[in-house]
Amino acid sequence: MTLILVAIGIAIACVMVLLSVNRGRNRSELEQHSLSAEQLESLMASGQKVSLFDIRQPLDLLAYPELIPGAKWVSPEEVLKTPSLLPRDEDIVVYCTCPGDKTSLSVLHRALALGFTRIKLLNGGLAAWKRKGYGVEPYRESFRLSIPTVAPAAR
């Protein structure tokens, strides 16, 4: 019985070590593929070409119809379904308004898995940009609100 408990303890310790290593790897990847609002502003002010994508949910855009100057809005579902909407041969920055940059992280991970190397996310998204006092511009294009599909009721 003692041997079984020792084996279980060792297995639990191994799992915890693996989770810690994976968490560190994810944190390192995030640091490598993210930038602050100050860094983005500096990059834009330098005149370096960067493709900026606002990937907020349509309802978020409806509530706050504004973008970082030069950004293009694309629904996150569209980008995840059709990553070719992102240019492979340009520096790309994506941002959202989700807690923890959840949507930006989803798009970042998908793009990295597909071999994109020049993509970063804006830490803190649009809120971080605005908190620093950087300008925004109104979003004036039309868009469709996504309506979630509901499974038909069982008969």
Residues 6+ apart with CB under 8 A from 70: 44, 52
pLDDT of res. 149: 47
Distance, in Å, from the CA atom of 60 to the CA atom of 65, rounded to the nearest integer, reads 8
pLDDT of res. 118: 94
Burial of 129 (0-12, 13-18, 19+ CB in 10 A): buried
Q: Report phi then psi at 133, rounded to 5.
A: 85, 10
How many Å separate Cα 10 from the centre of its chain? 36
Neighbouring-strand partners of residue 137: 67
Neighbours of 73 (CB within 10 A): 15
pLDDT of res. 155: 46
Average pLDDT by stretches of 10, the chain with 155 residues: 75 69 54 94 93 93 93 92 91 94 93 93 96 95 61 47
pLDDT of res. 131: 97
* Cβ–Cβ under 8 Å, residues 72 and 120: no
